[in-house]
Structure 1
């Protein structure tokens, strides 16, 4: 099974999460009950012993009322209630055993109860907020996954494997996009990255994908496809300005495959691809890089097509900046070109498997941005099982063709 198929089980098989998904994540206790209450018992014993030693000159037991507030920051409601109950028993008991006046004792008891109740209320509000955020993140990621097509994809010209890992933290998900379309003019491919993150970035990415799927089939030349994408981003930005949203731009690399040894490319501010062939991996020189989509009015030069070598047996690797900007614990960037040289003789799906595993190891499992990568290889004419259309049959043929 290829990495793209495994990703499909995790991404495309996902549906919008139910109401319990985010709640379960938010309510999961971060500290075990044994560790929590064991530590509380030890702390209480120490404070009581110190209180006995200091005598009536300095009463330390009432200071335990801050413990429920601390537990409410990281514990569950049940844990906070348990801690608050124990603290109330100890502190209230301490007040009742003193020789103070009735009003002193009553004030201390009331203050202790209120402090514990406030800790419980704060914990409940924190978990409620965390549940809402978790649900929103899950819904945003599920939406993004439904927008993007499953991989691998087999067309008349190429076989496309890929990996896609959305980030679900901080400011929600990012805006990485990709698409492969079979057209009357060959196969058109796009990989891009929307500026910013969150639902607004997903909206801009959807606008680009929708325009690409239509223009890739309609436009006979690749620059016509890119012009349609530019118009789509401009329209989206106009609507965003009217609704108070931030205008965005999109870096994109658009490729056209017509079955020859050359690939048409229009680069709109995106990272250059890498070519793996004959045991060597290197960056593909793009000499006509233009401004990102949505910024054409800032440039006086029209976007132009250039041709890149793509010999048989070579793998063309496209990726977003989530790959090159991944960092290790020291803050160093991921050395993509140095690592690709080790995998230059591997099959496309093997390159992606190695890349995904190496990124995870390099970053210590901490991903700061979406990661999208496509590994493209030419399909020679006359290959058995080559489909004429892209669909479920094409994917089955892709699995057979890849040998996995």
Structure 2
């Protein structure tokens, strides 16, 4: 299970869609009733005293009709209704005690009742909308938990640790994806970011993941895997256009590990990975960046595979733009390379733990995009960052694929 999902589960409990969970999350009072009604009593007393001092020239008590509308923004339905009843009693009593024509009194009382009812109605609508959003968000996060494989993942060639932290807003989740597949040709890895957010982005991401899981096993060369991904996004866009959805593209970094000291990479418009080795950290020296998946028709150049040195003990960090585009209160971007230099000597899991905590502190807990990151290390038995013996990945692949 990823660090991000662990944190979500700890904060929310079981993330299964359901009315009870959503309503409990939304209906829990943000302000204690004793504090709310105590403050209301103090406010009412002050307004009544000021009203008595100003006399007939300036009536202040009728202004209390705005209080239910204010409470409806943060209170529960019961709190808003209770405040409305108290305000109606105070304002009605004020109208009756000050006299005036019957028409003026009835008009004032009717306006008070109407304003209080509107405050209660606004609170009901707010709670209903927030409950629906909570249910949809829980369902979307549960859906992504099924689409994205839990980490860490151990294969014959690599150990992959990772974090995935979905953004929490009304548009629900984004389209960050990752996968690690043990194949007859070694380990294939992808990390990507679908354009846009919401359920449509999840659909495009699922199309890429499905194609990758199949092509990673079927295709002997890495560029063949990427061509299959391009075809999958193109087919998805055709279907999206037929159903009225916007076409999307996907930035992706695809890697192949064959057990040697080098890793093969194809970059489809994605961020450069970072290499951490012997206390130093920096961008991987890759020269070729192709267009994102789904945009191959706009380029006359085919996608090129490069080989990158990946010595034992080194960590290769892959990530999406939720990391580099995180901002602090002043609007400054997260200084990833400067921070990675502090953790270059750490094991992969410790690097991700430090990155997650540092991002949260840097952005003060305000995330504007999904965050996905993978930390990869070669399978070396005497590596302190390696959790156990190797070999089960190839045996499993041989069982499933007939030893191809």
TM superposition score normalised by structure 1: 0.92
1:271: how far off? 0.5
After TM superposition, list the pairs within 5 Å mapping 1:227-306 onto structure 2: 227-306=227-306
**Distance (Å, rounded) in 2 between the aligned partners of 1:373 and 1:312:** 20
1:3: how far off? 5.0
Local SS of the residue matching 2:197: coil
Q: Verify: 1:385 aligned to 2:389, yes or no.
A: yes
**Distance (Å, rounded) in 2 between the aligned partners of 1:5 and 1:121:** 36
User: In the alignment, which residue of structure 2 is the partner of 1:364?
Assistant: 364
1:212: how far off? 0.2
1:318-344 deviation line (CA, Å, top 9, x unaligned) = 111111111111111111111111111
210-219 or 122-131, larger mean C-alpha shift? 122-131
User: In the alignment, which residue of structure 1 is the partner of 2:202?
Assistant: 202
118-127 or 383-392, larger mean C-alpha shift? 383-392
Cα gap change, 1:7 to 1:54, in 2 (>3 Å): closer
Q: Which runs of 5+ in 1 are unaligned?
A: 393-404
1:39: how far off? 2.2
User: In the alignment, which residue of structure 1 is the partner of 2:77?
Assistant: 77
1:139-192 deviation line (CA, Å, top 9, x unaligned) = 111111210001111111111111111112142111100000000110000000
User: In the alignment, which residue of structure 2 is the partner of 1:395?
Assistant: none
1:389: how far off? 3.0
User: In the alignment, which residue of structure 2 is the partner of 1:214?
Assistant: 214
Q: Is the 8 A contact 1:96 1:105 kept in 2?
A: yes
Q: Verify: 1:123 aligned to 2:123, yes or no.
A: yes
**Distance (Å, rounded) in 2 between the aligned partners of 1:289 and 1:374:** 20
Q: Which runs of 5+ in 2 are unaligned?
A: 397-404
**Distance (Å, rounded) in 1 between the aligned partners of 2:50 and 2:395:** 74
1:195: how far off? 0.7
Q: Is the 8 A contact 1:194 1:204 kept in 2?
A: yes
After TM superposition, list the pairs within 5 Å mapping 1:1-400 onto structure 2: 16-380=16-380, 385-389=389-393
Local SS of the residue matching 2:98: coil
Cα gap change, 1:171 to 1:282, in 2 (>3 Å): same
Cα gap change, 1:201 to 1:5, in 2 (>3 Å): closer
**Distance (Å, rounded) in 2 between the aligned partners of 1:141 and 1:5:** 9
**Distance (Å, rounded) in 2 between the aligned partners of 1:227 and 1:10:** 40
Cα gap change, 1:278 to 1:19, in 2 (>3 Å): same
State the superposition RMSD in angstroms.
Answer: 2.2
**Distance (Å, rounded) in 1 between the aligned partners of 2:163 and 2:91:** 57
1:181-223 deviation line (CA, Å, top 9, x unaligned) = 0001100000000111111111110000000000000001100
Q: Is the 8 A contact 1:208 1:229 kept in 2?
A: yes
Local SS of the residue matching 1:40: helix
**Distance (Å, rounded) in 2 between the aligned partners of 1:37 and 1:349:** 49
**Distance (Å, rounded) in 1 between the aligned partners of 2:34 and 2:295:** 58
Cα gap change, 1:391 to 1:40, in 2 (>3 Å): farther
1:3-25 deviation line (CA, Å, top 9, x unaligned) = 599579769x9553221222222
User: In the alignment, which residue of structure 1 is the partner of 2:401?
Assistant: none
1:128: how far off? 0.5
Q: Is the 8 A contact 1:4 1:162 kept in 2?
A: no
1:69: how far off? 1.2
**Distance (Å, rounded) in 1 between the aligned partners of 2:56 and 2:123:** 33
TM superposition score normalised by structure 2: 0.92
**Distance (Å, rounded) in 1 between the aligned partners of 2:8 and 2:55:** 67
Q: Is the 8 A contact 2:381 2:389 kept in 1?
A: no
**Distance (Å, rounded) in 2 between the aligned partners of 1:316 and 1:163:** 14
Q: Is the 8 A contact 2:2 2:150 kept in 1?
A: no
